[in-house]
Amino acid sequence: MEKLTTARKEKWITVIFSVLLALPFGLVGSIVLTPFFWWIEKFIPFKLTGHTGPETWVTLTVTFITANLLYIICNKLLHRIPDEQNTIPADRLVKNSKV
């Protein structure tokens, strides 16, 4: 079996971390958004909340969106390159230029 590279391991860790964090944040987020869903229900023809809270599909949608946002944030944080590594010193630019 092929060994996982460091980049793949980081990607899988990011995916797992995002999904695990999205479950509680999605549930709490959908409960917090319930008054907003009540307001939206006045303008659309289908039900977003029941008498016990948000519908299951609404909670799953909020959790899915939360997982994607967390993945993007974690991915950006893991692959952030400091400015010192991103720039080329001026003396190297002059030596390598063919003007």
How much is the average pLDDT of 55-76? 91
Q: Confirm whether 39 is domain-assigned.
A: yes
CA distances, 71 to each of 4, 17, 59, 77 (Å): 20, 8, 18, 10
Q: Confirm whether 1 is domain-assigned.
A: no
Dist. CA 27–CA 20, nearest whole Å: 12
Placement of tokens 């950006």 in the chain:
76
pTM of the entire predicted model: 0.68
Nearest alpha-carbon partner for 27 in 73, 61, 71, 51: 61
The pair of structure tokens assigned to 88 is 């080329």
Number of structural domains found in the chain: 1
How much is the average pLDDT of 34-41? 91
Q: Confirm whether 15 is domain-assigned.
A: yes
Judged against a pLDDT cut of 50, whether residue 56 lies above it is answered with yes
Instruction: Give the domain range for residue 23.
Output: 6-96
On average, the pLDDT of the chain sits at: 81
Contact 12, 31 (CB under 8 A): no
